[in-house]
Amino acid sequence: MFDARRAWNRPLLTCAAAACAALVSLPTRAADSREATLAAAMATVTTGELSSHAGVLADDSLEGREAGSRGGLAAARFVESRLQDAGVKPAGDSGRFAQRFNGNMQNLLATLPGSDPALAAEYVVIGAHYDHVGYGSRRNSNGPIGYIHNGADDNASGVSAVLEVVDALTAVDYHPRRSILFAFWDGEEKNLLGSRHWVRQPTVPLGAVKAAINVDMVGRMVDGALIVGGSRIGYGSRQLLASERLPADMHLDFTWEYKENSDHWPLCAAGVPSYFVNTGLHEDYHRPSDDVEKLNVPGMQHATQYLVDVVMRLADADELPKFRPAGRGETPELRPHRERPLPPLAPRAAVEWAAPVSGDARGVLVVAAGVDDQHNPLPLVAGDHVITCDDATVHSVAQLDALLLVATDSVELSVVRSGADAPLTVTLPLTGKPLQIGASWRADEAEPGAVFVTRVVPNSAAARAGLAVGDRIDRVAGEPFADADGLLLRLRELLASDTTEIPLRVETAGRIRTIVIDTRRPHGEPDPTL
Ligand SMILES: [Zn+2]
């Protein structure tokens, strides 16, 4: 990774891009065998090969791989030999892997041709810089300088990962629909020289590059977090970057941090939705202590398997995300405002509830009761104990609030009143609208066709199904919907039909799963956790 604190700001090129939804789906033909192929490709990624590649690149003999130095040239020869062995097609200058620039510097480029005649002319780029800072200088080292900076994480880790992606995709008998360009950038640590050079002199048509992934520092995964930057830079990116295949102990962190600190930037400046995959900074960053022993190799394996998964899906998608210029202005500071949860809802009946005073009393105590919409007194009096609401046994104020929020226009309450021989049944009218399944959501302009969950009522059908604030929904009953209103309309149709189970496709921290809303228990059985 390039230290952006030392970079000067350059104006970005402006990019014209149509703001339309990326409708993304897999080709249905041979979907099962494709799924098996993807699993087989992911399974070829091993910790042994990752650590072997990183060991070569971060060995002292390569002297920190400074661009243009003899160590840099040795690193280039190693990468080139791996590309030759994999049998991918050279995509540098005149039939070679190398694209030379600035004298001794060189990017190394290779392609895997696409299989779909209609899409093979388009490219998905996956790249990693292979240079580092050599012995370090005041300009690029956090010290001490004058010692070999091996750059095991920065970026032997990313190069090893992309080499393993090359091996995985060539090991299986399946060519994705679009062509894939594998890029090993040089001179990144000297202000992104290699990727900037390639954008000025692209070796495949720049306009044909539809998406790019930059892998820079994936060797220090902490708590299973793989950081994915740039999801705001293309419409619908997050739906495509999220996966159904993440291991249980890994998640994606879709950070809003996105800046001129690595090779995603020149491609983004050229209007390509360009994503930045990494595992974050650490105390050995740009120091001689960034060594192979400190790599989290199982974490690298998880990250690399994800890269195989996402590259194949990008290359196979019907449509790829359109560039979204506004994404560059969305800083991490904006995020809490855009993703803020909604406050609790106003009560739907003018009743003050409390837990029963005496230990043996059941249900919830009525402290005070007001009037309804028409100013008629509500059918409750102070001192009543509400013991059931519709069919559910009432056992807490939070649970009763939740039941009232999702009820339609009234509820039947069973009430113990002092002086009465038996519990009374009363109908409590409610104001306001029910919260359909017990959740609220809002649209996200960057993710057309998905909504962001802003509120989940405890004990509601949504809560029971496992929906949580911050989740994103992008399918209802297996179908996409256009926008937030589209989801609401479809849900109302389904709730009014005989359907008893409504599947929702939900993304949580990069993991896609399907949850099922059970409509048979709209008011729920008592939730023992409340
Ligand atoms: Zn760096």
Distance from the CA of 79 to the center of ligand 1, in angstroms?
18
Distance from the CA of 3 to the center of ligand 1, in angstroms?
6
In three-state secondary structure terms, 253 is: strand
Distance from the CA of 189 to the center of ligand 1, in angstroms?
6
With cut-offs at 50, 70 and 90, classify the pLDDT of residue 221: very high
Mean pLDDT confidence for 52-81: 98
Nearest alpha carbon to residue 462 among 433, 437, 491: 437
- Res. 402: pLDDT tops 60: yes
If you average pLDDT over every residue of the chain, what do you get?
Answer: 90
Q: Are 210 and 240 in contact (CB under 8 A)?
A: no
Distance from the CA of 155 to the center of ligand 1, in angstroms?
7
- Res. 528: pLDDT tops 60: no
Tens of pLDDT, residues 427-473: 999 998 877 788 989 999 999 999 999 999 877 789 889 999 999 99
- In this structure, of 308-317, 330-339, 434-443, the range with the lowest mean pLDDT score is 434-443
Give the pLDDT confidence score for residue 284 in this predicted structure.
97
Distance from the CA of 132 to the center of ligand 1, in angstroms?
6
Q: How far is residue 62's CA from residue 310's CA, in Å, rounded to a whole number?
A: 31
Q: How far is residue 136's CA from residue 395's CA, in Å, rounded to a whole number?
A: 66
Give the pLDDT confidence score for residue 22 in this predicted structure.
35
Distance from the CA of 117 to the center of ligand 1, in angstroms?
38
**Cβ neighbours around 237 below 10 Å, total:** 28
Distance from the CA of 37 to the center of ligand 1, in angstroms?
34
State residue 144 phi and psi, 5-degree precision. Answer: -75, 145
What fold does the segment set 22-334 form as a domain? Aminopeptidase (3.40.630)
Helix count and strand count (H, E) for the chain: 12, 20
Distance from the CA of 227 to the center of ligand 1, in angstroms?
16
Q: How far is residue 383's CA from residue 381's CA, in Å, rounded to a whole number?
A: 6
Contact residues for 135 (Cβ-Cβ < 8 A; gap 6+)? 63, 64, 66, 145, 146, 147, 148, 149
**Cβ neighbours around 334 below 10 Å, total:** 12
Nearest alpha carbon to residue 166 among 218, 204, 128: 128
What fold does the segment set 439-518 form as a domain? Pdz3 Domain (2.30.42)
Distance from the CA of 93 to the center of ligand 1, in angstroms?
26
Q: How far is residue 49's CA from residue 168's CA, in Å, rounded to a whole number?
A: 12
Distance from the CA of 154 to the center of ligand 1, in angstroms?
5
Distance from the CA of 200 to the center of ligand 1, in angstroms?
22
Location of structure tokens 């050279």: 90
- Res. 27: pLDDT tops 80: no
- Res. 396: pLDDT tops 60: yes
Nearest alpha carbon to residue 36 among 242, 174, 180, 178: 174
Distance from the CA of 501 to the center of ligand 1, in angstroms?
50
Distance from the CA of 98 to the center of ligand 1, in angstroms?
22
Tokens at 176, concatenated: 């994705």
Give the pLDDT confidence score for residue 404 in this predicted structure.
87
Per-residue DSSP letter, 155: I
Q: How far is residue 198's CA from residue 124's CA, in Å, rounded to a whole number?
A: 15
**Which alpha helices (DSSP H) does 286-327 contain, by range?**
297-316
Distance from the CA of 249 to the center of ligand 1, in angstroms?
27
Strands 209-215 and 274-278: parallel
Instruction: Output 132 or 27, whichever has higher pLDDT.
Output: 132
**Cβ neighbours around 524 below 10 Å, total:** 23
Strands 274-278 and 451-456: unpaired
Give the pLDDT confidence score for residue 479 in this predicted structure.
96
With cut-offs at 50, 70 and 90, classify the pLDDT of residue 29: low
Mean pLDDT confidence for 48-52: 98
Distance from the CA of 481 to the center of ligand 1, in angstroms?
42
CA angle 198, 275, 17 (to 5 degrees): 75
Distance from the CA of 156 to the center of ligand 1, in angstroms?
10
In three-state secondary structure terms, 397 is: helix
Tokens at 253, concatenated: 């962190």
- Res. 7: pLDDT tops 50: no
Most confident of 53-67, 323-337, 430-444: 53-67
Distance from the CA of 111 to the center of ligand 1, in angstroms?
25
Q: How far is residue 246's CA from residue 275's CA, in Å, rounded to a whole number?
A: 18
- Res. 4: pLDDT tops 80: no
- Taking phi over 0 as left and psi of -120 to 50 as alpha, with beta for the rest, 187 belongs to left
Distance from the CA of 148 to the center of ligand 1, in angstroms?
14
CA angle 211, 319, 259 (to 5 degrees): 30
Distance from the CA of 259 to the center of ligand 1, in angstroms?
14
Tens of pLDDT, residues 171-200: 998 889 999 999 999 999 999 999 999 999
Contact residues for 33 (Cβ-Cβ < 8 A; gap 6+)? none
Distance from the CA of 343 to the center of ligand 1, in angstroms?
42
Distance from the CA of 482 to the center of ligand 1, in angstroms?
41
With cut-offs at 50, 70 and 90, classify the pLDDT of residue 392: confident
Distance from the CA of 89 to the center of ligand 1, in angstroms?
28
Location of structure tokens 């962001």: 452
Give the pLDDT confidence score for residue 524 in this predicted structure.
45
In three-state secondary structure terms, 211 is: strand
- In this structure, of 216-230, 308-322, 378-392, the range with the lowest mean pLDDT score is 378-392
Does this chain's domain 22-334 share its CATH topology with 439-518? no
Instruction: Cite the beta strand spans of 116-208 per DSSP E.
Output: 123-129, 179-185
Distance from the CA of 4 to the center of ligand 1, in angstroms?
10
Mean pLDDT confidence for 234-257: 96
Location of structure tokens 């199982």: 298
Distance from the CA of 191 to the center of ligand 1, in angstroms?
10
Tens of pLDDT, residues 9-24: 333 333 333 333 333 3
Distance from the CA of 299 to the center of ligand 1, in angstroms?
19
Q: Give the domain ranges of the chain.
A: 22-334, 351-429, 439-518
**Cβ neighbours around 16 below 10 Å, total:** 7
Nearest alpha carbon to residue 330 among 441, 255, 221: 255
Give the pLDDT confidence score for residue 3 in this predicted structure.
72
State residue 354 phi and psi, 5-degree precision. Answer: -150, 165
Give the pLDDT confidence score for residue 16 in this predicted structure.
33
| Bridge partners of residue 512, in order along the sequence | 507
With cut-offs at 50, 70 and 90, classify the pLDDT of residue 303: very high
Instruction: Output 434 or 107, whichever has higher pLDDT.
Output: 107
Distance from the CA of 210 to the center of ligand 1, in angstroms?
26
Bond into 155 cis (ω within 30): yes
Distance from the CA of 264 to the center of ligand 1, in angstroms?
13
Give the pLDDT confidence score for residue 13 in this predicted structure.
33
Distance from the CA of 28 to the center of ligand 1, in angstroms?
41
Nearest alpha carbon to residue 128 among 189, 179, 174, 178: 189
Distance from the CA of 57 to the center of ligand 1, in angstroms?
14
DSSP 1-46: ---GGGPPP-PPPP--------------TTHHHHHHHHHHHHHT--
Q: Which numeric CATH code is attached to 351-429?
A: 2.30.42.10
| Bridge partners of residue 368, in order along the sequence | 352
Mean pLDDT confidence for 297-325: 97
In three-state secondary structure terms, 59 is: coil
Provide the residue type at 336 as one letter: P
With cut-offs at 50, 70 and 90, classify the pLDDT of residue 30: low
Distance from the CA of 150 to the center of ligand 1, in angstroms?
11
